[in-house]
Amino acid sequence: METLGFLMQGFDVALTPLNLGLALLGAFLGTIIGALPGLGPSNGVAILIPLAFSLRLPPASALIMLTSVYYGAMYGGRISSILLNIPGDEPALMTTLDGYPMAKQGKAGEALAISALSSFVGGLIATFGLLLFAPLLAKFALFFGPAEYFVLFVLAFTTIGGISSKNQFKSLMAAAMGLMISTIGLDPATGEPRYTLNQMELFEGVNFLVAIVGLFAISEILFFLEESHAGKVTKVTVNKFKIQWKEMFKLTGTTLRSSVVGFIAGVLPGAGASLGSFMAYTIEKRLVDHEGTFGSGDPRGVAAPEAGNNAAAGGALVPMLTLGVPGSGTTAVLLAMLMSMNITPGPLLFQQHPDVVWGLIAALFIGNIMLLVLNLPLVGFFAKLLMVPSHVLMPIVAIVGLIGIYSISHSPFDLFVMIAFGVGGWLLRKLEVPLVPVILGILLGQLMEDNLRRALNISNGDWGTLWGSPLCWILWVMALGGLVMPFFIGKFFRVKIMEPEPEIPD
């Protein structure tokens, strides 16, 4: 009952005209960002954070806008998966399996409508899940002391590579790099400058927004240049269609099952949206694909990964909000967004900023509905965006990224640092070193060191405190499991995910 009252307060926050307008704007912009080739949800949200910051929106409003962007981008990404067989991000890979064949059969409109509806249901169920489980986990997390938190951060880094991680050593290496970058600047405890090279600009440390926009946006441009499919424009059309509600109702079972599977996958550490959509698809295939139509344009093959992936995205918010530990790339970017507003997620968030938490949850409900309302009639327009040529798009990405960062600090030095991060990010991506752990390291480094310091202060310098409680032990075992498991079962998952390698579209 308590929850319900809080939720009502949340709706009070979210339903002001300003916030409703921002949600609509966010969903619209997000869908555009997602639909544009080469810009995934993480990139899109990353580029827009500096703007939300410089516009000095109140935290709840900024959150509402950016989560709508995030939801919108996830949906927009499906447009290119279905129409062009080009997944906008990793979780969208499973959608191409049945979505693209449907489009080839002239049923692109239906596929997009199914995707919108099942995403909606998945997102809705996940938001209910968040509503139920997040307060419970937040209460439980109050038992965490500094030692437990330190181990929890270790757990976050060993599992961030995910179950399908190719090379665990590379994700650990990336995490170490990110954490190292976070140590640049004045040591908060002693005031000792560390790794500042005596540059005044570095005394405050590297601004994580500068790093994120550089790593994502600038490296994307370099990648694009290298692949140099410049000047190529694809013609895209969406057929006229009417939603056949009868057909849609046939998908109810698939959508509901997949939403639950996805939500659970999202809550677990190291799983995230990719695994959510993968598991949802595989389970549905086992359960209902009696005629072997999955993979050749079965509507259920579109509904399952879409519901699973959106539910997983909602599920991933549970550990992010209650523990402050994101489990995937996009939640890491959402964490960056919260931190840029001086809000540190964790169990105390629910007590200190209830307006933010419940406003956000209410915003998720509203964003979800906005998207559905926006997308069903406008899908033809969004599909046209796939035809925006890269020589227009990529310079815009560069300029908006640079100006966004410039508007925060008005310092050309930050722009140089950002470009350096872009080049570094390109190198790392070429070497198949994942970028998300780097970002997570930059975000969490200071908190991690801080908790270690407090744990040691309490125990008078005895390092045994790090495995001094049963909870610590459980977390260590999970961390170790997350580190070792991909070596054994990762191969199996990777083969399964990569097996239906999308053929080159004709």
Partner 1 sequence: MSDRIFGALMLLLAAVYSWTARGFDPGFMADPLGPQTFPYLLGAVLAITALYLLVRPDAPAHWPDLRHLLQMGLIVVVLLMYAGLLEWLGFIIATILTVTILGWRLGASLKTATFTGIGVSLAVYGLFDMLLELPLPAGLLGRL
- Confirm if 273 and 143 have CB atoms less than 8 A apart: no
- Residue of 15, 137, 180, 373 that binds partner 1 (CB under 8 A): 180
3-state helix, strand, coil in the chain (%, to 5): 75, 0, 25
416 part of the interface to partner 1, by CB under 8 A = yes
CB of 429 to partner 1, least distance (A): 10
CB of 168 to partner 1, least distance (A): 9
Interatomic CA distance for residues 226 and 241, integer angstroms:
39
- Confirm if 321 and 349 have CB atoms less than 8 A apart: yes
The footprint of partner 1 on this chain (CB under 8 A) covers a number of residues equal to 64
Number of other residues whose CB lies within 10 A of the CB of residue 463: 12
CB of 391 to partner 1, least distance (A): 4
- Residue of 3, 9, 183, 296 that binds partner 1 (CB under 8 A): 183
Q: Which stretch binds partner 1 (CB under 8 A): 31-39, 198-206, 426-434, 488-496?
A: 426-434
| Nearest alpha-carbon partner for 404 in 54, 43, 166 | 54
Reduce the DSSP state of residue 37 to 3 states and report it.
Answer: coil
Q: Which stretch binds partner 1 (CB under 8 A): 3-11, 291-299, 345-353, 400-408?
A: 400-408
377 part of the interface to partner 1, by CB under 8 A = no
| Positions in 225-254 near partner 1 (CB under 8 A) | 225-226, 228, 230-231
167 part of the interface to partner 1, by CB under 8 A = yes
CB of 36 to partner 1, least distance (A): 14
- Backbone φ and ψ for 244, nearest 5 degrees, come out as -95, 100
CB of 325 to partner 1, least distance (A): 18
| Nearest alpha-carbon partner for 7 in 126, 135, 122, 121 | 135
187 part of the interface to partner 1, by CB under 8 A = yes
25 part of the interface to partner 1, by CB under 8 A = no
CB of 175 to partner 1, least distance (A): 8
Annotate each residue in 283-322 with x if it binds partner 1 (CB under 8 A) or - if it does not, as one string.
----------------------------------------
| Positions in 55-114 near partner 1 (CB under 8 A) | 55
Reduce the DSSP state of residue 297 to 3 states and report it.
Answer: coil
Q: Is the dihedral of CA 285, 291, 296, 299 positive or negative?
A: negative
- Confirm if 203 and 355 have CB atoms less than 8 A apart: no
| Nearest alpha-carbon partner for 483 in 115, 40, 163 | 163
Q: Which is nearer to partner 1, 139 or 194 (CB)?
A: 194
CB of 114 to partner 1, least distance (A): 35
131 part of the interface to partner 1, by CB under 8 A = no
384 part of the interface to partner 1, by CB under 8 A = no
Do β-strands 185-186 and 193-194 pair in parallel, antiparallel, or remain unpaired?
antiparallel
Tokens 């327009």 belong to 381
Q: H/E element holding 193?
A: strand 193-194
Six token digits for residue 361: 């949850």
Six token digits for residue 368: 């979800």
Q: Which stretch binds partner 1 (CB under 8 A): 314-322, 348-356, 421-429, 479-487?
A: 421-429
Bridge partners of 194?
185
CB of 232 to partner 1, least distance (A): 8
Annotate each residue in 427-446 with x if it binds partner 1 (CB under 8 A) or - if it does not, as one string.
---xxx--------------
Q: Which is nearer to partner 1, 2 or 501 (CB)?
A: 501
Which residues are within 8 A (CB) of 87 and not within 5 positions of it... i.e. 6 or more apart?
A: 77, 80, 81, 93, 95, 96, 502
Interatomic CA distance for residues 326 and 93, integer angstroms:
22
191 part of the interface to partner 1, by CB under 8 A = yes
Interatomic CA distance for residues 301 and 311, integer angstroms:
16
390 part of the interface to partner 1, by CB under 8 A = yes
Q: H/E element holding 186?
A: strand 185-186
| Nearest alpha-carbon partner for 432 in 169, 222, 46, 208 | 169
- Which DSSP string do the residues of 104-127 spell out, in sequence order? HTT-HHHHHHHHHHHHHHHHHHHH
Number of other residues whose CB lies within 10 A of the CB of residue 366: 22
224 part of the interface to partner 1, by CB under 8 A = yes
Interatomic CA distance for residues 187 and 178, integer angstroms:
16
222 part of the interface to partner 1, by CB under 8 A = yes
- Residue of 74, 83, 102, 221 that binds partner 1 (CB under 8 A): 221
172 part of the interface to partner 1, by CB under 8 A = yes
219 part of the interface to partner 1, by CB under 8 A = no
139 part of the interface to partner 1, by CB under 8 A = no
396 part of the interface to partner 1, by CB under 8 A = yes
| End-to-end alpha carbon distance in the chain | 56
Q: Which stretch binds partner 1 (CB under 8 A): 2-10, 184-192, 238-246, 293-301?
A: 184-192
351 part of the interface to partner 1, by CB under 8 A = no
- Residue of 7, 15, 25, 176 that binds partner 1 (CB under 8 A): 176
Q: H/E element holding 455?
A: helix 436-458
- Residue of 395, 473, 484, 498 that binds partner 1 (CB under 8 A): 395
**Using the 8-state DSSP alphabet, how is residue 386 labeled?**
G
Which parts of this chain interact with partner 1 (CB under 8 A)? 51, 54-55, 166-167, 169-170, 172-173, 175-177, 179-180, 183, 187, 189-192, 194-195, 218, 221-222, 224-226, 228, 230-231, 389-392, 394-396, 398-400, 402-403, 406-407, 412, 415-416, 418-419, 422-423, 426, 430-432, 448-449, 452-453, 456-457, 460-461
